[in-house]
Amino acid sequence: MEVFRCAAANAGINPQDVFFAEAHATGTKVGDPIEANAIGSVFGGKHRKIGPLRLGAVKTNVGHLECAAFMAGLIKSALMLDRGTLVPNINFTTPNPAIRFDEFVRLKYIVDVNMRRLNPCCWCRICGHNWK
C-alpha cells in the first residue's frame, strides 16, 4: 500500500482522484486479494468525490501475454482515457472470496463487466497502473 501512496505523492495527485486502476491480476488465490485489497484501501476511500474506483485487468480480455502483459494494460488504460470509455472485464463472474468487495462496495470500489461510456464532466482522467 505504501508504494501506491508514494506513487500518488510523487505524481502530485490525491489517491481519491484516481478513477480507474489497472491491476496485474496474477489469477492466484493469494496474489489477487493482496493486490486488490491494497488498491481498494489506498484508492477506494470512503471520501471519494469523483465516483467509484473502477478496477480492471487486461488479462480478462486477452489472456496472459507474459512479457507483453504490461504493454497491453498500458495501451488499454491509455485508450480508455483517450476515448472516455471503460473496457469491461469480460470473463469476470465470481470474485475471489478473499477480496474484500463487501468492504470496498461501501468504499465505492467496483469491477465493470459491461462497456461504459463516461460522462466527461464527471471524472478525472487519472489511471493507476500496477505493474512490477
In CATH, the architecture of 2-129 is: 3-Layer(aba) Sandwich (3.40)
The residue with greater pLDDT, 84 or 126, is 84
Q: Which pLDDT does position 107 carry in this prediction?
A: 40
Could you list the beta-strand ranges (E) of 6-89. Answer: 20-22, 53-56, 85-86
The long-range contacts involving 68-73, CB below 8 angstroms and separated by at least 24 positions, are 69/24, 69/131, 70/131, 73/22, 73/24, 73/129, 73/131
Q: Which pLDDT does position 28 carry in this prediction?
A: 83
Summarize pLDDT for 9-24 with one digit per residue, the tens. Answer: 998 988 888 878 888 8
Summarize pLDDT for 68-91 with one digit per residue, the tens. Answer: 888 888 888 888 888 888 888 877
pLDDT exceeds cutoff 50 at 106? no
Q: Which pLDDT does position 122 carry in this prediction?
A: 54
Distance CA 124, CA 96 (A): 29
Q: Which pLDDT does position 128 carry in this prediction?
A: 66
Domain boundaries, the chain: 2-129
Beta-carbon neighbour count of residue 20 at 10 Å?
24
Q: Which pLDDT does position 109 carry in this prediction?
A: 47
Write down the mean pLDDT value for the chain. Answer: 77
pLDDT exceeds cutoff 70 at 45? no
